[in-house]
Amino acid sequence: MTELTELTAVRLVEGYRKGEFSPVDAVRAALRRAEEIQPAVNAFVRLDEEAALAQARESAERWRRGEPAGLVDGVPVSVKDILLMRGGPTLRGSRTVPATGPWDEDAPSVARLREHGAVFLGRTTTPEFGWKGVTDSPLSGITRNPYDPSRTAGGSSGGSAAAVALGAGPLSLGTDGGGSVRIPAAFCGIFALKPTYGRVPLYPASAFGTLAHVGPMTRDAADAALMMDVITGPDTRDWSGLGPADGSYVDALGGDSGDSGGGVRGLRVAYSPSLGGQVAVRPSVAAAVRRAVEGLASLGAYVEEADPDFTDPVEAFQVLWFSGAARVTQRLGPDQRELLDPGLREICDLGGRYSALDYLAAVDVRMELGRRMGRFHDTYDVLVTPTMPITAFEAGAEVPRGSGHRRWTGWTPFTYPFNMTQQPAATVPVGVDAEGLPVGLQIVGARHTDGVVLRTAHALYAAGVGGIAPPARL
């Protein structure tokens, strides 16, 4: 019999409805799994067994009465320790954040999950203020990869990725300002979606401004669609949030055709292996992504090798990102600044030296990039790239040893451009390298076409192209 920790959220809800098992069973199993994996991968900063089991018992009673509270009633969920969740501190991976309360407010996405009956297992690890593409911090230590604990889980939502990959709840909320749900999902072999900016409301507003997105981290695209149907409800606290979504993301998974292509027949796909030769991609990664793209073509998509018309915007991104980091830490005194991750302290010092004109020049680059991608999507429905040019490297390092990179942006060239453009982008696991480490494929859509991105990803899963074997039990 399949263990409860191996079931998707969709399958758990189906089981609750049929009376095959209860939310209490599922939550107990997820908590037990979380405790088992914690010594090896350090996915959580806090677990709340008592509160989770109380929520599970309430959910079980609702299901017994045939009156579930919502779409994910009784499903175990974890939340990255960047997003507010009432009842406990949100320390954001930093020794500079006091644990004193009151912690009496939920972030919008957390509030929507609570309204739909989700059961909160605990908080997942993040680097300090989510500043980099790996997950380690002076507060909570190093988060490790489920497939090889000597390697990084990626970041900044690394705890969420490790938890989902290892069965400690099928759903997790992450944040993504430059790749922070997609990087760890690709390294840990799970699915993640960075939605169109504003589609999932965010409060408090991020110091990284409109680069910062909230998104689902899940076992597959179907679970992400279910989660999106919950967390996309508008919230008046987010001044830049979008209005209600146009229909259900779950309903959009099959598309309009209803054929064996899962809704991708006739989809116009641009496949860019290296962004026009700008990115050196490891051969094993390139091969796995190419095989998956061939799978899309076999489903009836029109696939053409084509590169978007832009050069690497890393300098402009770093002006925006480093300025945001400087803003996060602006009010810290000298003693508190000494408590920061040394790398964060370094980029804050750089960010604090930019002028308003430097920042606005970076905004100009961003707007031009958005224009170019808008024109690109007049021709193509989706852009497909590798999510990462490499697989997971040694844990505890910001960059791979010997890479020559100074900052995490050096090895994430496929992710941060699409934070600048605010487009939806997902990662799907499509294979492993010779060392058994996961490879991710990225699907990028035009703004507001989150349903198309999810439908494309779902077609890969349905065809057996997406998804890899779970990691061995730790």
Angle at 75 (CA atoms; ends 459, 101), nearest 5 degrees: 120
Residues near 364 by beta carbon (within 8 Å), at least 6 away in sequence: none
The structure tokens listed for 305 are: 């090798």
The answer to whether 227 and 192 are in contact (CB under 8 A) is: no
Give the number of residues written for the chain. 474
The answer to whether 302 and 266 are in contact (CB under 8 A) is: yes
* Residues identified as active-site: 80, 156, 180
Torsion, Cα of 47, 52, 53, 56 (10° steps): -150
Are β-strands 213-218 and 191-194 bridged in parallel, bridged antiparallel, or unpaired?
antiparallel
* Distance from the first to the final alpha carbon of the chain: 20
Q: Please name the helix (run of DSSP H) or strand (run of DSSP E) that holds residue 35, with its range, or none.
A: helix 23-41
> Using CA of residue 377, residue 383, residue 389, residue 393, what is the dihedral sign?
positive
Task: Compute the distance between CA of residue 155 and CA of residue 185 in angstroms, rounded to an integer.
Answer: 9
Distance of CA 210 to the CA centre of its chain: 16
